[in-house]
Structure 1
Amino acid sequence: MTESDLIAALEDAGVHVVFLPYPKPGSYWHAHQLIVIDARLSSRWQRCTLAHEAVHAWYGHEGPCAPETEAWVDERAAGLLVTEQAYARAEWLHGPDVHAIADELDVTPWVIEAFQRTLRRVA
């Protein structure tokens, strides 16, 4: 899913997205239906952070979440950004190197780690 696709889906859900200098990679405020993404991040990090915050928005999460919820959100975000076919090809090309796979798929390493957790659970 591209950044534009994510933003359009969020807008359809009534969630606004802004990019500005921010002390964290991103945040979602449920009461305001607002996602803030740090504009200083690379486009890759912005898109991955946006996917993470989008999942929080779509599920109506409020405030800081427990670590297990954050891990679950990461896995859902990874599913928005990586397909099994693309992952399999990248792993075939680069072996188990998380950073190389992430570079190949233009996502962050945490997205690949979350995607791998999902694959292990399904297998």
Structure 2
Amino acid sequence: MQNVWGMLRSLAHVMVIWNRPYPDIVAATDGRRIWIDPKLTVVERRCFLAHEAIHIQHGHDGCQPPAVERQVCLEVARFLISFESLQDVANWSLCPVEMAEELGVTEQVLLDRLATLDGDQIQLLWPPSDHIA
């Protein structure tokens, strides 16, 4: 499991502020500060802090176009979920809720990680059945 707090420590100039930034947004950054809703669960905090930290690593300092947001979401998913961890969980569960919980991420982050997989990786996770149903 990736350490989001370690990632944030590497961004020494960044301050985390435990306040919801806007009524309809739970986390945001201006490149120097990250605002985050203190009412989020531990898992949600981990995912949103990673998301905002990756924005900062890319030099983003405010709202980004949808295409940039999507790329950040996919990068967050790759950062938080290694293929090996995903493979371990996929060996015993097909339930997205259960998989996300085991991986310590939100369901959306899990879905984003699945969207990053290529055909070979998907076959490694869920090989075709050897028999006909």
**TM superposition score normalised by structure 2:** 0.79
Letter in 2 for 1:90: V
Q: Residue 9 in 1 paired to residue 7 in 2?
A: no
Q: Residue 86 in 1 paired to residue 85 in 2?
A: yes
Q: CA deviation at 1:69?
A: 1.2
SS of residue matched to 2:60: coil
The alignment yields a C-alpha RMSD, in angstroms, of: 1.8
Q: Residue 41 in 1 paired to residue 40 in 2?
A: yes
Q: CA deviation at 1:121?
A: 7.6
Q: Are the equivalent residues in 2 in contact too, given 1:20–1:40 (CA < 8 A)?
A: no
Identity of matched residues, %: 27
Q: 1:105 — aligned with what?
A: 103
Distance 1:109 1:119 in 2: 16
Higher helix share: 1
Q: Are the equivalent residues in 1 in contact too, given 2:18–2:37 (CA < 8 A)?
A: yes
Q: CA deviation at 1:122?
A: 7.8
Alignment deviations for residues 84-122 of structure 1 (CA, whole Å, 9 cap, x no partner): 110011111112x32221011111011111111111388
CA 19–84 in structure 1, closer or farther in 2 if over 3 Å, else same: same
Q: Are the equivalent residues in 1 in contact too, given 2:47–2:76 (CA < 8 A)?
A: yes
Q: List gaps (5 residues or longer) in structure 2.
A: 122-133
Q: CA deviation at 1:21?
A: 4.1
Q: List gaps (5 residues or longer) in structure 1.
A: none
How many residues matched? 118
